[in-house]
Amino acid sequence: MRYTVSIELALPRGRAVQLLADPAYLPMWLRGLVTHEPLTGSHGQVGCESRVVLETGGRRMEAVETITRREPADLTDIPADRVVHFEREIVAEGMWNAARDRLTEAGPRTTLWESENEYRFGSLPMRLMAPFMGGAFRKASRQHMQDFQAFAERGVDVRAAQD
């Protein structure tokens, strides 16, 4: 299953990239995050593997996230015409996900964030149900992006909204 979602952020690309790349901000916008801890490597750098635990709808999911691309490696002083790429693979029991995020400068004070997602499932029941669940996965991805947007533009912390 593959899909792409996008959102326009009302902040300069440099600031959007800075907020997305800093692990200290993850709990503020990644709804349901319990743990995001590096197992190997430096957080956010190519090759880094992290243990990720999410709770949603009363269900707990544990996965390993591997950063597969961060371009450019140095996120300071990025030329306006350069696209910023963050890519990762997430593996959980019976599921593999590749997320490919692209951030482009849409204007001097706006950023276009496009997120291409690909899922593969190991169990036959999940493979059979996947075509019917595409909308739910797309909706969850859009919710994460909207949560980031609310955090980045207005300082809204999802943890306060969840209480």
**What's the structural domain count of the chain?**
1
| Cβ-Cβ contacts under 8 Å for 30 (sequence gap 6 or more) | 36, 54, 144, 147, 148, 158
Does residue 64 lie in a domain region? no
3-state secondary structure of 76: coil
- What's residue 136's pLDDT? 85
- List, for residues 60-92, the tens digit of each pLDDT value: 999 999 999 999 988 888 888 899 999 999 999
- What's residue 162's pLDDT? 59
Does residue 87 lie in a domain region? yes
Does residue 21 lie in a domain region? yes
Does residue 114 lie in a domain region? yes
The structure tokens listed for 113 are: 């964030």
Does residue 15 lie in a domain region? yes
The structure tokens listed for 156 are: 């809204």
- Whether the CB-CB separation of 154 and 22 falls below 8 Å is answered with no
- List, for residues 117-144, the tens digit of each pLDDT value: 999 988 776 767 777 677 788 999 999 9
Residue range(s) defining the domain that contains residue 110 = 2-32+75-157
DSSP summary character for residue 17: H
pTM of the model: 0.90
Does residue 151 lie in a domain region? yes
CATH number of the domain encompassing residue 27: 3.30.530.20
Does residue 84 lie in a domain region? yes
- Dist CA 146 CA 160 (whole Å): 15
